[in-house]
Amino acid sequence: MDKGKLLIESLPYIKKFKGKTFVVKFGGSMFQNEILKDLFIKDVALLSLVGINVVLVHGGGKDINYYLKKMNMEEKFIDGYRVTDDPSMDIVEMVLSGKVNKDICSRIVNEGIKAIGISGRDNGLIIGDRMNGPYGNVGEIKIVNTKVIEDLLDMDYIPVVSPVAEDESGNALNINGDTAASNIASALNAEKLILVTDVDGLYKDYKDKDSLISYIDSKLLKKLVDEEKLSGAIKPKAMSAVEAVEDGVKNVHIINGNEAHSIILEVFLENGFGTMVGRNENE
Amino acid sequence: MDKGKLLIESLPYIKKFKGKTFVVKFGGSMFQNEILKDLFIKDVALLSLVGINVVLVHGGGKDINYYLKKMNMEEKFIDGYRVTDDPSMDIVEMVLSGKVNKDICSRIVNEGIKAIGISGRDNGLIIGDRMNGPYGNVGEIKIVNTKVIEDLLDMDYIPVVSPVAEDESGNALNINGDTAASNIASALNAEKLILVTDVDGLYKDYKDKDSLISYIDSKLLKKLVDEEKLSGAIKPKAMSAVEAVEDGVKNVHIINGNEAHSIILEVFLENGFGTMVGRNENE
Amino acid sequence: MDKGKLLIESLPYIKKFKGKTFVVKFGGSMFQNEILKDLFIKDVALLSLVGINVVLVHGGGKDINYYLKKMNMEEKFIDGYRVTDDPSMDIVEMVLSGKVNKDICSRIVNEGIKAIGISGRDNGLIIGDRMNGPYGNVGEIKIVNTKVIEDLLDMDYIPVVSPVAEDESGNALNINGDTAASNIASALNAEKLILVTDVDGLYKDYKDKDSLISYIDSKLLKKLVDEEKLSGAIKPKAMSAVEAVEDGVKNVHIINGNEAHSIILEVFLENGFGTMVGRNENE
Amino acid sequence: MDKGKLLIESLPYIKKFKGKTFVVKFGGSMFQNEILKDLFIKDVALLSLVGINVVLVHGGGKDINYYLKKMNMEEKFIDGYRVTDDPSMDIVEMVLSGKVNKDICSRIVNEGIKAIGISGRDNGLIIGDRMNGPYGNVGEIKIVNTKVIEDLLDMDYIPVVSPVAEDESGNALNINGDTAASNIASALNAEKLILVTDVDGLYKDYKDKDSLISYIDSKLLKKLVDEEKLSGAIKPKAMSAVEAVEDGVKNVHIINGNEAHSIILEVFLENGFGTMVGRNENE
Amino acid sequence: MDKGKLLIESLPYIKKFKGKTFVVKFGGSMFQNEILKDLFIKDVALLSLVGINVVLVHGGGKDINYYLKKMNMEEKFIDGYRVTDDPSMDIVEMVLSGKVNKDICSRIVNEGIKAIGISGRDNGLIIGDRMNGPYGNVGEIKIVNTKVIEDLLDMDYIPVVSPVAEDESGNALNINGDTAASNIASALNAEKLILVTDVDGLYKDYKDKDSLISYIDSKLLKKLVDEEKLSGAIKPKAMSAVEAVEDGVKNVHIINGNEAHSIILEVFLENGFGTMVGRNENE
Amino acid sequence: MDKGKLLIESLPYIKKFKGKTFVVKFGGSMFQNEILKDLFIKDVALLSLVGINVVLVHGGGKDINYYLKKMNMEEKFIDGYRVTDDPSMDIVEMVLSGKVNKDICSRIVNEGIKAIGISGRDNGLIIGDRMNGPYGNVGEIKIVNTKVIEDLLDMDYIPVVSPVAEDESGNALNINGDTAASNIASALNAEKLILVTDVDGLYKDYKDKDSLISYIDSKLLKKLVDEEKLSGAIKPKAMSAVEAVEDGVKNVHIINGNEAHSIILEVFLENGFGTMVGRNENE
């Protein structure tokens, strides 16, 4: 009986989110094991089946590192950006768009859901520019042409997007996955951007595990960032969340992919997991 | 976390039943209290929201009795049929199509789901004939014109059907609700006919509460009926189930409406409640 | 030959009204005999066949009285409103939505026209409030959600509407049929509201049978009402006409249902029957 | 009141013919005066307005004669065929497709109905061959490509067709209007072919004005033709009627265009005018 | 290999003009021989095949003259207008709409392209008024109803339009073909109006064959006209070009139909033939 | 003028192939220089623009070799198959689906044509099995699910397909590009399979450069193969051609990608380049 009650608890959320768009960003290497990864894919399939338009954006840092090392290429980071010369850009793209992307796509299709894996270079989805600075082919996003994503969603495909852009001459650019997801969510006027991480969410005080924030508005969050209250690793995610909300995404969620079904629980149950970022309605 | 697991357990069933048609027959007066009735309506809304085409057929015996008594009309049953003279046919139709039907429709709409209440007389849905015998306006079904139901489903309405038919001269006929549901399910080539009752299902031996049948094929069930193994009250429902399966409905379920969420649990979880009747695949 | 001339006389009207919406209000008990009722139904079928979107709203006072009496319930009117306690509300709804509505629907379908009978409670068509005063469940209309009517018209059904509304908690309300029709016509931006009565139309002086008004603008009509020039019975209909025109309905017609084919003659012939109310174009 | 009765008499016919195709052949010069011609156009407009797909095929012999004479070209007939050399073929085509066709089209449009005038040469509608014999550019029909007519009907245009065909090299051919209409009607699987003439119909004995045939089956009619019972002028029309019915047209009507509204009366009233030819159902 | 290069040269133009509308005006009698006429038809077919919406407007002066003469009618021009009494109007219409129009239509269809020949009188395409002056039935254009052209283009037909209009009483009017084409192009908001003539284009100084203008803006062109710099024959074409550009057509081309494939070369190759008129972008 | 003649020469071919499907297989590394590669992409864009449904299948052997070498992986071929252990399978997939595929896609998009790059693993396009033998992850094709390609073509995308399949457990498989293209062409019932190579076509005698075959039927070609008349490198392509024709592809073309515009010339001009393989119509 309790099972039924639980299923019914999801009723208002299914109604509310039917036909809405969720952009979900996750790092494939983030999951502690294959089982968790598989559960996550099933969760995504469920979102899609109940009528939500799901767009997946993935990362792939670990795999990139593995292959760079294998080819005796040096990993180098400046200001948090992976310095990407031409040969390593090739590796970055091949790993992201050729390996990680297709593996995820294959897993979703095995759940009986239609999926196509694309990169930001397909049909001019993400046009960028090389960043100023000594970062090589690291790009910043200039334009997001959502046409290809809208076409795929119209035909009931889950678009799986690898975070590779190109400049106007057609050269591949290495872009940050969270930023890509945030920009795509804004361009699609998405209902939700969901950032799947390996922490439970944002903390008021990152040393105090009891200070997890359940809801915060983007203005307050920006203040927390500015006042350096957030741990280093979560800061860029917090910034992506702030920007997405400011650019029109209704809510951003930061959840823990290593808690089984965290995404489903966050979306469909009254007391979700993780942190939800929203607009300050008083403004 | 268990909550998530539970929700995910429904994944293959949602996938399987998306776009399929379920005809659900229930007696409004069957529920022990308003809370159970409300939960049932929510369950139906959930089925609809996840993409199942739901057709509701209702009964209303208790309400009919109440009004007949109020008007000093005598209740009379012969061979299990309510003998229905012209004045009582008017009461039967008014109660079913005017009161019960509109109340159910209103409740569904309050869940945010589109619904229209019709009777078998709308757009010639059910054409019948007076039965031979001393039963008055009791009818047997000759033709089911599913056009009106298909049109309503096409526009995402739940059709709520009251079991009143008419003969070819346009006179109202009193028909059995289970039979109406079974005929509509066959005519629609439905995936499931779900008969919501006030017992847990069929029993191999109705005196032994431990002998509940989880699955039975229609041929075996017919044998049980012929050998008089079933209790009197459940026999007509068993016969409706047998007929529906023989006429092309994939599965018939007999479940207990007074167990909260029984319909959801039966449809979406691996170990359902109640009794499922299917085709003998060896034939 | 004269027959042909007559048919051709209707040409400009068919052209003019093709695809337009007519809301027709009539009282089933108003017709003096079955033959007139049948002719009226045929007239409605003809309107529908030549491409007019017909919405029927019916009354049912006589039938309600009959059943209230049979159940020993007292009929009581205050200020012209039927005082409607809970038990009599049940009778009102059952008679209107369960009996009268389905009989009309059946007659139309027998003319080969698609029809569905609904009440103001189906899909939230008419949301009202209890009126202030000692009238019980008498309601006044707050919102008309025309979605369900538009959907049915889109699929070529004649919606047959019984004048029962509900409040926001889902309780049935007794509303005036003319007011319901007038409100539905306004909400649909109808071309015409046709009030079928048992008099020939409005009279300048209701004692002088020769003073029948052929055309009047809504402003003048309002003045006639204010100056108490109209007979008591026709006053509320005149008020409904004034309101409908003020709320955007192009013309309101008051015609006599007991003159055979009066509706067809009024709509399709140059010198119609009855009274037409229009906007004062000089304002 | 009788007017209404009359309009209602047309109800079953409107219902029956809605969405069906009528091919109407008439000779513009046939009408005794402009008033009759105008009435005929209004009749056609009415057919179209009530949902019948009307295809008009016209003649134009009188006008052709007038222009031939004006250009001092000799009229010559052999075996009933107008001997058509190249210069006279030009005149035939110009008069039919350029003058008569456009005049008719203009009149229909002035009734508020969409119409396009085409000839058998537009989009390859009628492909023919020169007849064997001394007839010049007189053609017999080989192929009717109804695509262009179906497209125009789909977009609610009345196609007005002038009876000019072309051979496979693109040369214009003079074809008989009745034969063209009959062939188009067969190719469209039309409900009716209506031949508008200047006589009241077929007579059992053409000298006896009381012997007008109201209905005849195609087999019997063929016999009458073979036995030379019909007057010379009507014989080819009778043959066209026989062929059309044999090739799948449901009914052919031969009516008098100089009786006002004869087409409307024949189609919409129980006791039509003229002669109807049908299939012998006993075969 | 050069062949391929040439085909590829057309790529950007095909891309640019796909789905755009070109109105092409030409005089059938203008071509020096049948071969050139045939090549022109093939060119038009190619434009249509690569996705351009082509509307053809034709002239027919030579043929008109031929028939007028044959009927001993006097040709008379005042102020450049053919004085058109009623009998000659009949000839004008018959030749244009009945002969020239159908011949062109037939040739296009023989290239495998769908085409329908209409005149300005079909479905009220061009409504005009008699011009003031002693010109008889010469008309000036008042309204262009593009509905019929849009419908035909929607169904992939090339509309072939003969320049005959009608007044509001339905009388045929003789209108200038260039003006008709220019007005249709404006009403359709066309990408291009292409005027096919028998000269290579406009000349700065019409006596100097080396002064051919490749591009000119409409303002400058107007000035040339006002200053009488253009030869008499080309002046009305220049005025049509100026008006079309001022009324919203993007470009007007004046090309020589007697240079084989001039239209294709002008549209698809970088260095076109003839003169292109455009808007002055600095305004 | 010759330019126009040339463009017009393509008219019948554009007409013939409009809406038909061409599968084009090419090896990106095959082109001798960037200019030729660019011209090829433009040719493909032109095919698409004139209404042909183009599906691109690419190879990538050279790039694979480059990366394998860079990672010190040994290249090993047995029976002509690249022996592919798990680590080299990763490289194969990354290079094909991540690098080559996205580069081609980007180039097409830069021509203004919609394109999406997918692999055989997207939406289950190509399901295969490991081949028997010591070849590792070399696969043979079992099922081609064309749904994803049909969906993309429906929305006017050029699908760019990398020849990577997966087995039923979701493991990537290395498949031959020509075989993939041939199988996709058969499954799509394609009009043409075009194999772009670095030779001019098939030779009757591969040592005699004058013996180029312009047309050959599949039966004769099979005989040539069986009789070992073809050079080693072209043999597998010949076999793919034979199989494609036998499985329903209308024609297979073998052309030289290093001859500029060979594909356009072969498709659109009367005397094409290369070798065309067709069905023996006498069978």
What integer pLDDT is reported at residue A283 of this predicted model?
60
Average pLDDT over residues D33-49: 92
* Element containing residue C78 per DSSP (H, E): strand C77-78
Q: Which residue has the higher pLDDT, F128 or E257?
A: F128
Considering the domain boundaries, does residue E3 fall inside one? no
Q: Which residue of F has its CA nearest to E17?
A: F49
Please give chain B's pLDDT, 283 residues, in tens: 577 787 888 888 999 999 999 999 998 667 778 889 999 999 999 999 999 999 999 999 889 999 999 888 888 899 888 999 999 999 999 999 999 999 999 999 999 999 999 999 999 999 999 999 999 999 999 999 999 999 999 999 999 999 999 999 999 999 999 999 999 999 999 999 999 998 889 998 878 888 899 999 999 999 999 988 887 778 889 999 999 999 999 999 999 998 888 899 888 877 778 999 999 776 6
How far the first Cα of chain C sits from its last, in Å, is 44
Mutate to test the interface with A, among F100, F123, F149, F169 (most CBs of A within 10 A): F123
- pLDDT tens across F159-187, in order? 999 999 999 999 999 999 999 999 999 99
Tell me phi and psi for residue D144, to 5 degrees: -115, 115
**Are chains C and E in touch, 3+ Cβ pairs below 8 Å?**
no
Q: What is the pLDDT of residue B9?
A: 83
Would B52 be classed as within a structural domain? yes
Residue E65, exposed/middle/buried by CB under 10 A (0-12, 13-18, 19+)?
middle
Per-range mean pLDDT, top range of A5-9, D107-111, E262-266? D107-111
Burial class (CB in 10 A: 0-12, 13-18, 19+), B100: buried
Say yes or no: A78 contacts chain B, CB-CB below 8 A: no
- Strands, E, within C108-235: which ranges? 115-119, 126-130, 139-144, 158-162, 164-166, 172-174, 192-197, 215-217
- What residues contact F76, with CB distance under 8 A and at least 6 apart? F82, F83
Decide: A59 and A230 in contact? Cβ < 8 Å. Answer: no
**Res C269 pLDDT > 90:** no
User: In whole angstroms, what is the distance from residue B5 CA to residue A46 CA?
Assistant: 12
- CB-neighbour burial class of residue E9 (10 A; exposed 0-12, middle 13-18, buried 19+): middle
Range of the domain at B21: 17-278
Share of chain C above pLDDT 70, in %: 98
* Whole-number Å distance between alpha carbons of C217 and A167: 68
Residues, chain E? 283
Give the best-scoring range by mean pLDDT among A272-281, B18-27, E8-17.
B18-27
Residues of B in contact with C70 (CB under 8 A): 71
Give F114's contacts in chain A (Cβ within 8 Å): 123, 148
User: For residue F33, how many other CB atoms are within 10 A of its CB?
Assistant: 9
CATH number at residue C220: 3.40.1160.10
* ipTM reported for the complex surpasses 0.85: yes
> Which of A270, A157, A19 has the alpha carbon at shortest distance from B49?
A19
H/E run at residue B41 = helix B34-49
Pairwise CB contact (< 8 Å): D102 & E151: no
**Is the residue at A52 inside a domain?**
yes
Per the listing, tokens 């094909």 go with F96
Q: Give the tens place of pLDDT for each residue, A25-61.
A: 998 667 778 889 999 999 999 999 999 999 999 999 8
Q: What's the gap in Å between the CA of F200 and the closest CA on chain E? A: 13
Q: What is the pLDDT of residues C177-232, one digit of tens each?
A: 999 999 999 999 999 999 999 888 999 887 888 889 999 999 999 999 998 888 77
Q: Which residues on chain B are in Cβ contact (under 8 Å) with A4?
A: 39, 43, 260-262, 264-265
Which pLDDT value is given to residue B75? 84
| List of chain F residues with pLDDT < 50 | none
Q: Tell me if B112 is assigned to some domain.
A: yes
Of all residues in chain A, what percent carry a pLDDT higher than 70?
98
Burial B29-49 (b: 16+ CB within 10 A, else e): bbbeeeebbebbbbbbbbbbb
Q: Distance between CA atoms of D254 and D242, rounded to whole angstroms?
A: 12
Write out the two tokens for A124. 């001019």
C124 min Cα distance to partner chain B (Å):
7
Residue E223 DSSP SS3: helix
Q: How many domains does chain B have?
A: 1
Q: Does D96 touch chain E (CB under 8 A)?
A: yes
Q: What pLDDT was estimated at residue A28?
A: 63
- pLDDT (tens digit, 9 = 90+) per residue, E95-130? 999 999 999 999 999 999 999 999 999 999 999 999
E166 close to D (CB below 8 A): yes
With 70 as the cut, is the pLDDT of residue C35 above it?
yes
What residues does C82 pair with on adjacent strands? Answer: C77
> Are B124 and B57 in contact, with CB atoms under 8 Å apart?
no
Residue A172 has pLDDT above 70, yes or no: yes
pLDDT digits (tens, 9 = 90+) for E51-98: 999 999 999 988 999 999 988 888 889 988 899 999 999 999 999 999
Is residue C7, in this structure, part of any structural domain at all? no
Kindly state the average pLDDT of the residues A242-262.
94
Which member of D94, D99, D105 has the closest CB to residue E122?
Answer: D105
Is there a domain that residue C3 lies in? Answer: no
Q: Is the pair B, F in contact (3+ CB pairs within 8 Å)?
A: no
User: Hey, are the CB atoms on E121 and D105 less than 8 Å from each other?
Assistant: yes
Q: Name A11's Cβ contacts closer than 8 Å, sequence gap at least 6.
A: B42, B45, B46, B49, B111
Does residue C259 sit within a domain? yes
Q: What is the mean pLDDT of chain E?
A: 92
Block residue for tokens 């009268």 = C100
Q: Establish whether chain E is in contact with chain F, requiring a minimum of 3 CB pairs below 8 angstroms.
A: yes
Which chain E residues touch F43 with a CB distance below 8 Å?
A: 4, 8
What is the distance between the alpha carbons of residues F34 and E4, in angstroms, rounded to a whole number?
Answer: 17
Classify D201 in phi/psi space as left (phi over 0), alpha (psi -120 to 50) or beta. Answer: left
Q: What percent of chain D has pLDDT over 90?
A: 71
D111 contacts on C by Cβ (under 8 Å): 11, 15
Which residues of D fall within a CB distance of 8 Å from C264? 4, 7-8
Nearest CA in chain B to C166: B106
Which residues does A208 contact at the CB level (< 8 Å), separation at least 6? none
Q: Chains A/E: 3 or more C-beta pairs closer than 8 A? A: no
Chain F residues with CB inside 8 Å of E18's CB? 49
* Residue in chain A nearest F156 by alpha carbon: A151
Look at F118 and A121 and tell me if their CB atoms are within 8 Å.
no
Residue E2 maps to a domain: no
Q: Is E58 on the interface with D (CB under 8 A)?
A: no
What average pLDDT does chain A have? 92
The verdict on a CB contact (< 8 Å) between B49 and A18 is yes
Q: Token pair for residue E267? A: 């549209």
Token pair, residue E79, equals 């102020």
Chain F residue closest to E259 (CA)? Answer: F1
In this predicted structure, what is the pLDDT of residue F28? 62
The pTM of the full predicted model, rounded to 2 decimals, is 0.90
Q: Which residues of F touch E259 (CB under 8 A)?
A: 1
Q: What digits encode the pLDDT tens for the residues F150-165?
A: 999 999 999 999 999 9
Task: For residue B88, give how far its alpha carbon lies from the nearest alpha carbon of chain C (Å).
Answer: 12
Cα torsion at A114, A117, A122, A123 (round to 10°)? 10
Which are the contacts of C96, defined by CB distance < 8 A and separation ≥ 6?
Answer: B98, C58, C59, C60, C63, C64, C119, C162, C163, C164
